[in-house]
Structure formats: C-alpha cells, structure tokens
C-alpha cells in the first residue's frame, strides 16, 4: 500500500489481531530520510568506507537503526552496495561503499548489523549491477557469470551471509535482458538458492513489471502500491502462481520481523539521541577524510595570521547528496536550494556545519575572511592578500542523474553555472598556499592539482563535517582515511568513457569483466590520479619484516612490523593484496585484508592480518563456471603488503 504514514516511503498495514506491526519502509543510505523529520545527517556511506574501520561502520549502522526507532519506523532502505567502479560518475556514488567487493561488502555488512541490532529490518540494495543512473530502468547489464560472482555479486553475498540482512531490494535495471525484479537467475537462483537467503525481496519503487513472472522469479513484495501484485488472487486462481508461493512470500516477510526482534520490540515515535549520534557523525568524518596532497602546508599553525575561506555557502554549511538519500538534519538545514533534475525538483541541502565558523574557532588570532567564489577575480584578490587560502569546493550529486564527467560540474544552477575548477585555478595562481577541501560524491578530476598546496577529500562530510575538517586542517586529528575508490584522471580512462542511454532496454556490456575499479587501472597499466587505498598522513609509517604463511584450511596469515616514524600519533591502514595463480587469468592484484592501527609517535607494533580463505568473502577463491561454485586453485599466490594499491611490496609467496 502506498502511504505517507510516519513519513515513510512505503507502508504495509499491520495485523492488529495478531499483534503484527505495520511496516514503515524508510530510506536511506546516509541517515533516516523521506518525510520522517529531523535525523542524524551522517557523512556519506562512501566516507564510512574511507575509514576502513569496521567497528566505526557498525556504529554508523547503529545510528541509522536508532534513528529509525526514534521515528517509529522499522524497515531501513539503506545498504546500497553497488560497486561504483563500474561507473564512477554514478549520481549515487556517495551512497555506495566503493569499488572493492570485500571492502564494500564488509563495511556494508557492518552497517547492516548495526542497524538490525536495533531490532529493525535492514535492506541491501540494488540487487544487482544497478550501476548507472542514466536511463536506469532501461540499462541491461551484460556480464559474464564469473566476473559477476567475483565482483558485484560478492559484495551482496558478504552482506547476506555476514550480516544476515533480512531484506533485499531488486534493482531498476535489467541483467541479461531480464528486469531485476523478475530475474529468476538472480532472485531465485543466486540469492535464495545459492546463498540461502531467508528474508524477503522487494522491488525498487515502481520497479515491478509483472505479477506472475515476478512472483515466480522470487519477488516477495511490490513497492509501493499494488499495480501488479494486486492481481495475485487472479494469478493464483488461474494457476499461474501456486498458493505455496504466496505462503512463502508471507512467511519470508513475517519471519524477517521476528528474526530482527521487531515483533518483540515494536517501534513507536520517540526522540533522536542527538548527542551520541552526532559524535559518531563527527568520528566518521574525522576518520574518513582523505588527505590527497600536502606540499608541506598542512597542518596549519594556530599562529596563522590571515585566512581566506572561499566557496559556495562555506559560511553556513556543508553540502549533502540528494535523492532518496536526502536527510533533514538535526536542528534543520543551514540552507536549501532547489535543482530541477529529470523533470522533478530536488532539494539541494546544506547541513548546519559552517566551515567558516569552524575555522574561526581554530584560529582565534587570525583574520578570517569569506567569499562565496561567485567572482573568481574577487576571490583571487582576497587570496593574494591572505597568508592561507582554503577553498571549499562542493559538487552536488543526486539520484537519477549521473555526472557528465569527473570535473566540478554545477548541477544546481545549470543556467548560470559556477565553474569551481576555474575558481580554484584563479585562487591558486594568486596564492599557491591554497588548500582545496573537496565535498563531493566520489571520484573527482583535478585539472588544477599541481598548482595547489594541499587537497582533502571530505566526501559529503555530514552535519559535523566542518568541525571534523577544521580539526584535520589544524592537526588536532591526523588524517588517516584511505580512498575506497580509484580517482581516475578523467573519464577517458574508464572502461566505458561514454554512459549508454536509451528509452527502451539497451545493453551495457561489462567487457572489462573482473577488471573493475583499481583492477582495471592495474590490468591496463593506466596511471590513476590517486589510487585505491591511498591517503596521506601528518606522520610517517614504515612497514618491514613481513612474513606470510598458508595454513591448512586456507588460512593465510601475514605479519608485518608497523612503525610510526614521524612526530605525531596517527593511524595507518595496513593493506594486504593477493596475486592469483597465473593460470586463472585474474587482474594483477585484489585486496584480501587490512587492519587500521593507531600508533603514537615513535611507537611500533607487530600487525597480524589473518585472511580466512573460507569466509563469505572468498578472498582466495575464484568462481568455477564448470561446477558453478567457488573454488581455490592450486598454484602460487603472491602476497603484497603496503598502504595503497599502488604502494606495495611483495611480502612473500605461498603455494597451495
């Protein structure tokens, strides 16, 4: 049933005589949204992935679940784990957890567990391969089975198996010519039979195309309304759908409500736990912000005398992504603009976290002046008079629209666009002590990179973002986030430089197969702007003395000595990558494990990373198309350790 009950995007009436609760289905990926009211506006899900911190990701999920309960709603539609390496310009990149199946899968699983532990149903979406927003209901992905299993589907498999997520949303798109909501191979085959998924599958909004074919392919719930499933009685009476299949649908939904403890702990509207949740929002922004460039300019000294803060609305707030992931922040928005996208008007939300105020608070002795950057000439003049310049560049992004390219493109005021790339160029040529803070959905091209002193990728930093960014700029917090995606130099370096489109189903061929994300850049020997796993720090770390061993049961153990050789305390993410036996024809390397370790200046630690070859992530495995199962091949595996996908050394080889 369609409904706006409690502000939800979807509603299923309860059964009072059985004490069965109504279901209120609510987005979204970075907070609790739709029309529920104020909730914690978290940093983007991609920022959470950039922390590489599973415990903090769990707390991110807890905030989502707690806010769901506070609004009396109970099915959370977050859990977007489409792998953004397939289409980095995807307008929903900020909702995803990046391009690597294991990192994305595990960060997402931690979110889902945190949410379901609050006794609400979580959801993983959009199953599957829903990677472009351009004509998203017509794009038909063509990918070979092995590539799908080892990349995009693997991220879902981890969520289904490790988090026990109780609902799965089918994508809008088609896979091999069949819409996801009636794709028997995906829903019944991969999800329910192969993975043993016991929860329910719902359609994306108005993404159902039939009754009997969808029901028989494995769709359990149409959302919203009943344009197709309203015909279920007739489909059963005519024998197109057996009664047992309807019983199975009902069983799956009812079971999910019991499985997460929702039946025993029904939700009713209360109050958002603002203080605790905002602390998590801040921690994620601090841990997820990635320092990409630093020509000795950061951290800033508290003794700095004059600072120019430049950028749209940087006096009042930080920008957030739009669409179903839109969240009304606690305390209300700083500012709401409007953008017209695909014939609809979307709010462009600025969260109440002022970069200007946060910087003033850190440098009370400095003259801090602000310009919005509408005039590049005025901004350059102010930059020339200032000791330090901080440009807050904001790239808005929204569901239903892909970015035309990876540069800074104004999607909010297309009639009179602000050219932020030109603004940065002008400012940096007036003052090379320019720091660029990028607020955006994901990968960003930087044509001005060599002319600026420092760059921070702050993603969409959430409603404590400015405070977190200021803490990093002034060195209270050491930057320790690492990229969960590749930053390509430009769209020409992508597997599909042009995004396909069409008004009837059209094929999108994933000919790159297994080579998605950094695996593409590695396999094709293309130099990215910044590689997957990369991130600078204010301190320095060394890795030495690595050992590797493979024990029975396919347990790969890597030990390595990590030393903080710099003058500040900080965290490093020790990353383990594997090269597979040559006979398999895999891309050069895959991430199989990591550990984020915080060390005081001068401290060292022996770091042990155990990679369980039999886990749901199948880190040593390949998909055997002959047996249609995961397998671990005999042969030689190279084990690499380092702090980015392009800064690795061979720790050893193991034979199996």
Which residues make up the interface to ligand BGC (CB under 6 A)?
9, 27, 77, 125, 204-205, 324
Query: Smaller CB distance to ligand BGC: residue 95 or 273?
Result: 95
Task: Classify 113 as helix, strand or coil.
Answer: helix
Q: How far is the CB of 655 from ligand BGC (least distance, A)?
A: 45
Q: How far is the CB of 345 from ligand BGC (least distance, A)?
A: 15
Query: Smaller CB distance to ligand BGC: residue 90 or 324?
Result: 324
Q: How far is the CB of 172 from ligand BGC (least distance, A)?
A: 6
For residue 471, what are the CA distances in angstroms to 129, 200, 223, 302? Answer: 38, 43, 43, 11
Q: Is 598 left (phi over 0), alpha (psi -120 to 50) or beta?
A: beta
Closest CA to 224 of 80, 72, 9, 7: 9
What string of DSSP letters covers 581-646? PGGG---S-EEEEEEEEEE-TT-EEEEEEEEETTSTT-TT-EEETTTTEEE--SSEEEEEEEEETT
Q: How far is the CB of 620 from ligand BGC (least distance, A)?
A: 33
Closest CA to 130 of 276, 285, 271, 324: 324
> Rounded to an integer, what distance in angstroms lies between the CA atom of residue 485 and that of residue 52?
12
Q: How far is the CB of 560 from ligand BGC (least distance, A)?
A: 40
Q: How far is the CB of 148 from ligand BGC (least distance, A)?
A: 20
Tokens 């801090």 found at: 368
Alpha helices in 480-533 (DSSP H): 518-523
Query: Smaller CB distance to ligand BGC: residue 130 or 289?
Result: 130
Query: Smaller CB distance to ligand BGC: residue 90 or 486?
Result: 90
Query: Smaller CB distance to ligand BGC: residue 67 or 467?
Result: 67
Query: Smaller CB distance to ligand BGC: residue 166 or 324?
Result: 324
Q: How far is the CB of 324 from ligand BGC (least distance, A)?
A: 4
Burial category of 274 from C-beta neighbours within 10 Å (exposed 0-12, middle 13-18, buried 19 and up): middle
94 touches 438 (CB < 8 A): no
> Rounded to an integer, what distance in angstroms lies between the CA atom of residue 177 and that of residue 51?
37
160-195 in b/e form (b: 16+ CB < 10 A) is bbbbbbbbbbbbbbbbeebbbbbbeebbbebbbeeb
- Residue 492 main-chain phi, psi, to 5 deg: -65, -25
Query: Smaller CB distance to ligand BGC: residue 11 or 58?
Result: 11
Tell me if residue 204 is catalytic: yes
Query: Smaller CB distance to ligand BGC: residue 65 or 488?
Result: 65
How many Cβ atoms from other residues are within 10 Å of residue 553's Cβ? 8
Residues paired with 575 in a beta bridge:
594, 642
Q: How many CA atoms lie within 13 A of 195 on its CB side?
A: 29
Q: Which of 204, 402, 493, 522 is catalytic?
A: 204
Task: Classify 66 as helix, strand or coil.
Answer: helix
Query: Smaller CB distance to ligand BGC: residue 106 or 125?
Result: 125
Q: How far is the CB of 21 from ligand BGC (least distance, A)?
A: 20
Closest CA to 356 of 337, 365, 369: 369
> Rounded to an integer, what distance in angstroms lies between the CA atom of residue 485 and that of residue 641?
18
What residues are annotated to the active site? 204
């Amino acid at each position: 049933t369609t409904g706006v009950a409690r502000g939800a995007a979807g509603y299923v009436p309860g059964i009072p005589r059985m004490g069965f609760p109504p279901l209120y289905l609510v987005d979204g990926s970075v907070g609790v949204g739709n029309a529920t009211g104020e909730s914690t506006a978290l940093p983007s899900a991609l920022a959470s992935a950039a922390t590489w911190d599973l415990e903090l990701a769990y707390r991110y999920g807890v905030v989502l679940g707690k806010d769901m309960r506070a609004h009396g709603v109970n099915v959370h539609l977050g859990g977007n784990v489409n792998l953004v390496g397939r289409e980095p310009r995807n307008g929903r990149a900020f909702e995803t957890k990046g391009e690597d199946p294991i990192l994305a899968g595990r960060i997402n699983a931690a979110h889902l567990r945190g949410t379901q532990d609050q006794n609400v149903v979580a959801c993983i979406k959009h199953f599957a391969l829903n990677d472009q927003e351009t004509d998203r209901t017509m794009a038909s992905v063509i990918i070979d089975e092995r590539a799908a299993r080892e990349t995009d589907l693997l991220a879902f498999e981890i969520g289904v198996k490790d988090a026990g997520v109780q609902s799965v949303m089918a994508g809008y798109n088609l896979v091999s010519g069949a819409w996801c909501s009636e794709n028997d191979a995906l829903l019944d085959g991969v999800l329910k039979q192969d993975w043993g998924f016991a929860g329910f599958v719902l359609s994306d909004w108005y993404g159902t195309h039939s009754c009997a074919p969808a029901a028989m392919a494995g769709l359990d719930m149409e959302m919203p309304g009943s344009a197709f499933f309203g015909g279920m009685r007739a489909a059963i009476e005519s024998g197109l759908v057996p009664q047992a299949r309807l019983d199975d649908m009902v069983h799956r939904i009812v079971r999910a409500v019991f499985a997460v403890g929702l039946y025993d702990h029904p939700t009713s509207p209360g109050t958002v736990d603002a203080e605790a949740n905002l602390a998590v929002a801040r921690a994620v922004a601090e841990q997820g912000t990635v320092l990409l460039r630093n020509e000795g300019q950061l951290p800033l000294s508290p003794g700095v005398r004059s600072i120019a803060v430049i950028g749209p609305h940087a006096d009042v707030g930080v920008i957030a992504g739009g669409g179903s992931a839109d969240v009304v922040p606690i305390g209300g928005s700083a500012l709401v603009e409007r953008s017209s996208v695909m014939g609809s008007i979307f709010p462009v939300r600025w969260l109440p976290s002022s970069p200007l105020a946060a910087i003033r608070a850190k440098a009370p002795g400095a003259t801090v002046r602000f310009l919005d950057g509408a005039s590049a000439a005025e901004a350059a003049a102010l930059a020339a008079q200032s000791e330090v310049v901080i440009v807050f560049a904001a790239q808005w992004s929204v569901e239903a629209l892909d970015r035309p390219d990876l540069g800074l493109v104004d999607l909010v005021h297309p009639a009179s666009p602000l050219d932020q790339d030109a603004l940065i160029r002008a400012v940096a040529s007036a003052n090379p002590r320019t720091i660029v803070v990028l607020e955006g959905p994901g990968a960003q091209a930087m044509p001005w990179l060599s002319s600026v002193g420092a760059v921070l990728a702050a993603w969409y930093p959430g409603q404590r973002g400015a405070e977190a960014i200021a803490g990093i700029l002034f060195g209270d917090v050491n930057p320790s986030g690492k990229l969960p995606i590749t930053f390509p130099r430009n769209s020409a370096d992508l597997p599909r430089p042009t995004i396909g489109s069409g008004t009837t189903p059209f094929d999108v061929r994933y000919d790159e197969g297994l080579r998605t994300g950094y695996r593409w850049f590695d396999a094709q020997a293309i130099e990215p702007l910044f590689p997957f796993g990369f991130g600078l720090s204010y301190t320095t770390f060394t890795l030495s003395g690595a050992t590797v061993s493979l024990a029975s049961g396919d347990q790969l153990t890597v030990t390595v000595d990590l030393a903080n050789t710099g003058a500040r305390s900080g965290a490093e993410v020790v990353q383990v990558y594997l090269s597979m036996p040559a006979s398999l024809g895999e891309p050069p390397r895959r991430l199989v494990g990591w550990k984020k370790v915080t060390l005081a200046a001068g401290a060292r630690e022996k770091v042990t990373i155990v990679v369980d070859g039999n886990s749901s992530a199948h880190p040593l495995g390949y998909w055997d198309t002959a047996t249609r199962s995961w397998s671990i091949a005999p042969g030689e595996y190279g084990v690499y350790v380092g702090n980015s996908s392009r800064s690795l050394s061979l720790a050893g080889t193991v034979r199996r």
